[in-house]
């Protein structure tokens, strides 16, 4: 095994960050030897940023944005704080002042830079009361939603978003107090609460808890990956254009309803992970963070760098301490307030690279160790993993990264970034490519085997045939791809045509071989375990606001005359 050459020797000042070599070391790979100094430098910078952020405090004490800012009750007084460095004035708007700024509802600057505070008598706010902010800055003024709002609702008539006071007389009473997640390999059930019903409407947290959780248990999965949790103005964004990061989406119910879902899941021995979106934010200004204080660079990079052109969204500036506090506090909030068991971090590739990894194949190790890596984003990912695991050693973090960044899902102690697992995203792409471009009889088993087991030995992965990405509009589910239009006429078990039998057999075998070669985890998107037809398309002007493809046809898997029933039973026994 090669050691670090003299050309890559480590200075004494970096010795504490030294990557251990040997069987337990991350970079036993000789191809990484030319990049050892870069790796060491990144680790050292991440550690330095962590120390500057915590300043000797615990992670829980340092990540306190949600406790410092927003609306909080203190005895018989309500205290509201906001961070808005460029603002010259902030007023609370509510029914009591006819939604007009007044001196009685003005916040005042504190001694801390950019922080405003107001103290109000107990009668000024009540449970479920609505409010928002009126922000004033040099050259402009506008409505805004508080950055740390924990409940945001939309008026069905005016469509205006407002923050809502959530302070019930009785706090939610948890039924499952000391949940210990199952130790078995992760069997992940990815699900969207709004499209979880068969009816053509938006489902709720409570309906998911009472109707979907039993299905997940029966199917044999032990981990729920819950999508679209954070508030997002546009339902059709699949939850990825987040506006209010601390507010569970109100279109699915109340914060207590989400707690009920997680509580019930824990009672059924199901771990709950949240699909967290810290890679970007919606560009909306009134109900989002963009231009919150009148500048385009408060939470985000300024000018072009602050805009993700493909996603039409804003890109965080991870180099700002208050932005780090905001995002880290967001993780802490969901773990402590809602008792979630971890997170899948969306869009990690976009975070890691200045060009967001767009249009790149990442075929060389040099692709990961150039100047185009965002060190500030990498620092944040190190810190996020440290925070999550400091709150709970049983918590799980998963990275969604298409680039294959080395060591992303390896412990920091051996040179990694600290994620527990990463998505094996190339597997799903391989199956689609084979089905679209290669005849069945020409599939090369060696190539398939290579892709199925392709991962660094020190990194744990989650394999899957299809997650939600593979079924979005413009694409289709695996079974739809296998059957084509025949899925509407050829799924009766009385149909023994070669086309149908081929599709059913391949659906089973593709899933079986993917599970059998999985390295620590396996995932399915809800409904795909029984070969759900068609694709996912949320209501929009383009489809006449139809829910036809934004639901799950559960009745198919219960019909014994259809192959869907057998496909579900195969999947259930496969993962048992």
What are 81-99's pLDDT values in tens digits? 999 999 999 999 999 999 9
Residue-level pLDDT at 13: 38
* Confidence band, pLDDT 50/70/90 cuts, at residue 118: very high
Average pLDDT over every residue of 448-473: 93
Question: 278 is written with which tokens?
Answer: 């810290």
Residue-level pLDDT at 25: 53
- Contact predicate 204/193, CB 8 Å: yes
Active-site entry in 285, 400, 401, 571: 400
Residue-level pLDDT at 5: 32
The answer to whether residue 475 is catalytic is no
Least confident range from 224-233, 273-282, 457-466: namely: 457-466
pLDDT exceeds cutoff 80 at 250: yes
Q: Please tell me the distance from the alpha carbon of residue 344 to that of residue 277, in angstroms, as a whole number.
A: 9
Residue-level pLDDT at 18: 45
Average pLDDT over every residue of 290-310: 98
Beta bridge partners of 74: 77
Q: Please tell me the distance from the alpha carbon of residue 198 to that of residue 557, in angstroms, as a whole number.
A: 12
pLDDT exceeds cutoff 80 at 160: yes
Residue 472 class from Cβ within 10 Å (0-12 exposed, 13-18 middle, 19+ buried)?
A: middle
φ, ψ for residue 34 (rounded to 5)?
-65, -15
Predicted TM-score (pTM) of the model is: 0.94
The answer to whether residue 400 is catalytic is yes
Residue-level pLDDT at 415: 85
Residue 47 half-sphere exposure toward CB, CA atoms < 13 A: 16
Q: What CA–CA distances, in Å, run from 170 to 22, 36, 173, 174?
A: 55, 55, 8, 12
Q: Domains along the chain? A: 6-61 (no CATH), 67-164 (2.60.40.10), 187-575 (3.20.20.80)
Residue-level pLDDT at 36: 87
- In the three-class reduction of DSSP (H, G, I as helix; E, B as strand; rest coil), residue 301 is classed as coil
pLDDT exceeds cutoff 50 at 455: yes
Residue-level pLDDT at 26: 58
Residue 348 half-sphere exposure toward CB, CA atoms < 13 A: 28
Residue range 390-442, pLDDT digits in tens? 999 999 999 999 999 999 999 888 889 999 999 999 999 999 999 999 999 99
Active-site entry in 17, 341, 346, 537: 346
Could you give the angle at which helices 321-337 and 36-54 cross, rounded to 10 degrees? 80
Rg (CA), the chain: 25
CB atoms within 10 A of CB 63: 27
pLDDT exceeds cutoff 80 at 19: no
């Amino acid at each position: 095994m090669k050691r670090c050459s003299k050309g890559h020797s480590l200075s004494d000042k970096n010795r504490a960050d030294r990557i251990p070599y040997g069987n337990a070391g991350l970079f036993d790979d000789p191809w990484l030897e030319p990049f050892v100094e870069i790796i060491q430098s990144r680790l050292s910078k991440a550690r330095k940023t962590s120390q500057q952020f915590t300043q000797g405090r615990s992670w829980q004490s340092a990540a306190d944005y949600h406790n410092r800012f927003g609306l909080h009750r203190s005895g018989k007084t309500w205290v509201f704080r906001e961070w808005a460095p460029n603002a010259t004035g902030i007023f609370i708007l509510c029914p009591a002042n006819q939604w007009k700024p007044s001196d009685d509802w003005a916040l005042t600057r504190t001694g801390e830079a950019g922080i405003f505070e107001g103290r109000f008598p107990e009668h000024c706010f009540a449970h479920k009361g609505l409010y928002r902010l009126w922000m004033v800055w040099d050259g402009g003024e506008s409505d805004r939603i508080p950055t740390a709002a924990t409940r945001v609702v939309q008026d069905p008539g005016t469509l205006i978003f407002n923050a809502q006071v959530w302070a019930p007389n009785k706090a939610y009473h948890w039924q499952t107090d000391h949940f210990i997640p199952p130790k078995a390999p992760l069997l992940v059930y990815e699900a969207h609460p709004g499209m979880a019903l068969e009816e053509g409407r938006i489902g709720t947290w409570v309906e998911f808890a009472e109707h979907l959780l039993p299905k997940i248990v029966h199917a044999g999965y032990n981990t729920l990956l819950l999508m679209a949790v954070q508030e997002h103005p546009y339902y059709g964004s699949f939850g990825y254009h987040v506006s209010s990061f601390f507010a569970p989406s109100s279109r699915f119910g109340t914060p207590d309803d989400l707690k009920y879902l997680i509580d019930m899941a824990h009672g059924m021995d199901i771990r709950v992970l949240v699909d967290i979106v810290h890679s970007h934010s919606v560009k909306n200004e009134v109900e989002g963070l963009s231009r919150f204080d009148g500048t385009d660079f408060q939470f985000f990079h300024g000018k072009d760098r602050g805009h993700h052109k493909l996603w039409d969204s804003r890109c965080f500036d991870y180099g700002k301490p208050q932005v780090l506090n905001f995002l880290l506090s967001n993780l802490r909030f969901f773990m402590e307030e809602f008792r979630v068991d971890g997170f899948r971090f969306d869009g990690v590739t976009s975070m890691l690279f200045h060009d967001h990894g767009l249009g790149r194949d990442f075929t060389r190790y040099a692709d990961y160790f150039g100047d185009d890596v965002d060190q500030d984003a990498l620092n944040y990912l190190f810190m996020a993993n440290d925070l999550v695991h400091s709150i709970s050693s049983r918590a799980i973090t998963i990275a969604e990264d298409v680039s294959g960044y080395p060591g992303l899902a390896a412990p920091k102690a051996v040179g990694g970034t600290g994620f527990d697992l990463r998505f094996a995203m190339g597997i799903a792409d391989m199956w689609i490519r084979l089905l679209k471009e290669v005849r069945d009889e020409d599939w090369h088993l060696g190539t398939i085997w290579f892709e199925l087991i392709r991962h660094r030995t020190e990194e744990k992965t989650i394999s899957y045939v299809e997650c939600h990405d593979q079924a979005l509009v413009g694409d289709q589910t695996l079974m739809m791809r296998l059957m084509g239009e025949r899925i509407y006429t050829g799924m009766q078990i009385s149909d023994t045509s070669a086309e149908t039998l081929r599709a059913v057999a391949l659906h089973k075998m593709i899933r079986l071989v993917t599970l059998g070669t999985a390295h620590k985890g396996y995932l399915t998107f809800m409904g795909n375990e029984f070969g759900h037809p068609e694709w996912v398309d949320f209501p929009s002007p383009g489809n006449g606001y139809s829910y036809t493809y934004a639901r799950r046809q559960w009745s198919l898997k219960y019909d014994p005359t259809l192959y869907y029933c057998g496909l579900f039973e195969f999947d259930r026994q496969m993962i048992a």
